[in-house]
């Protein structure tokens, strides 16, 4: 019963066990809260300091600290999460290292390795551990299915200046998603990617702290604003529920029309 005395309908993810990485902020945090509202049991996975500082609006998230740059830590954290959930139905691989690395000519080996280790290799290791747990729990048997959702970016398909390591790693996530979809289909595991454009995780209605980048959002996004983390989480709920049972190897792009245009100039059209 709710506090108003009205029975609450079971959510679309009732009885499902989910792990969300990158869960302490932005899209990850919104996805954890959306899954909890829809009735799932959720492990929220992120760096320990970020988890310690996070308070979810919805109760019930199980926090587990994990550094996606630490291969051994990923396997241990995933095993702990699956044990505490009693199985695994949904994995959202959203942990990422964001930001630029300067001009390509100045890109260091260390910066390249950092971005690839977290964004590409971390996603691979998380998904491999998750897929193995799903198969062990019976995915693909007796009509049972499971879901893996990767969080890519419009940068999975579109480059931007001074971000070669990030763009390359996110492009790798896109192809990894398709490869997993093909290999895991026989086990009833559906694998899809969400590709967000600019998302406001700062609370300043731009998604960026620099005025120059804020103006760029207004100029290049057809809807004239960044997305909200909750709008991306809505897609994560859809891809996890039973209604998406014939979708695999696909990408949902959530970018306000950014990738629909060759050139910007939207601010002029709004005046």
Contacts of 123 (CB under 8 A, 6+ apart): 68, 93, 95, 150, 173, 176
Q: Active site residue: 56, 115, 166, 208, which one? A: 166
The answer to whether the annotation marks 115 as part of a ligand binding site is: no
The answer to whether the annotation marks 22 as part of a ligand binding site is: yes
Q: Check if the beta carbon of residue 134 is closer than 8 Å to that of residue 146.
A: yes
**What pLDDT band is residue 3 in, cutting at 50, 70 and 90?**
very low
Give pLDDT tens digits for 152-165. Answer: 999 999 998 999 99
Residues 150 and 22: their CA atoms lie apart, in Å, by 11
Residues 32 and 21: their CA atoms lie apart, in Å, by 9
Q: Give the chain's domain count.
A: 1
**11 within some domain:** no
Segment 50-54 long-range contacts (CB within 8 Å, at least 24 positions apart):
50/24, 50/25, 51/23, 51/24, 53/24, 54/23, 54/24, 54/25, 54/29
Q: Check if the beta carbon of residue 84 is closer than 8 Å to that of residue 146.
A: no
**10 within some domain:** no
Q: Of 73-87, 196-210, 211-225, which one has max mean pLDDT?
A: 73-87
Give pLDDT tens digits for 172-189. Answer: 999 999 999 999 999 999
The answer to whether the annotation marks 132 as part of a ligand binding site is: no
Three-class DSSP category at 147: strand
The answer to whether the annotation marks 20 as part of a ligand binding site is: yes
At residue 192, does pLDDT exceed 70?
yes
The answer to whether the annotation marks 165 as part of a ligand binding site is: no
Instruction: Please report, for the domain that includes residue 69, its CATH number.
Output: 3.40.50.720
**7 within some domain:** no
Cβ neighbour number for residue 128 with a 10 Å cutoff: 14
At residue 264, does pLDDT exceed 80?
no
The answer to whether the annotation marks 34 as part of a ligand binding site is: yes
> What element of type H or E holds 189?
strand 189-196
Residues 180 and 146: their CA atoms lie apart, in Å, by 13
Active site residue 208: no
Find the domain containing 240 and state its range: 17-270
**172 within some domain:** yes
**266 within some domain:** yes
């Amino acid at each position: 019963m709710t506090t108003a005395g009205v029975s609450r309908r079971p959510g679309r993810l009732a009885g499902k066990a989910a792990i969300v990485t990158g869960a302490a902020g932005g899209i990850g945090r919104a996805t954890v809260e959306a899954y909890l509202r829809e009735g799932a049991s959720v492990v929220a996975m992120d760096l320990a300091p970020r988890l310690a500082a996070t308070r979810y609006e919805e109760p019930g998230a199980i926090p587990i600290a994990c550094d996606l740059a630490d291969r051994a830590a990923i396997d241990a954290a995933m095993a702990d999460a699956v044990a505490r959930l009693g199985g695994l139905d949904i994995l959202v691989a959203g942990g990422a290292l964001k930001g630029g690395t300067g001009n390509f000519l100045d890109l260091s080996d260390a910066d390249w390795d950092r971005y690839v280790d977290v964004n590409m290799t971390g996603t691979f290791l998380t998904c491999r551990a998750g897929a193995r747990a799903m198969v062990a729990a019976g995915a693909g048997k007796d009509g049972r299915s499971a879901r893996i959702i990767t969080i890519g970016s419009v940068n999975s398909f579109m480059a931007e200046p001074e971000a070669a390591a990030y763009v390359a790693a996110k492009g790798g996530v896109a192809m990894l998603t398709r490869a997993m979809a093909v290999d895991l289909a026989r086990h009833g595991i559906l694998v899809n990617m969400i590709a967000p454009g600019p998302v406001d995780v700062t609370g300043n209605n731009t998604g960026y702290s620099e005025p120059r980048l804020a103006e760029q959002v207004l100029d290049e996004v057809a809807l004239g604003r960044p997305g909200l983390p909750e709008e991306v989480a809505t897609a994560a709920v859809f891809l996890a529920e039973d209604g998406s049972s014939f979708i695999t190897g696909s990408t949902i792009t959530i970018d306000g029309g950014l990738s629909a245009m060759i050139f910007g100039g939207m601010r002029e059209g709004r005046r």
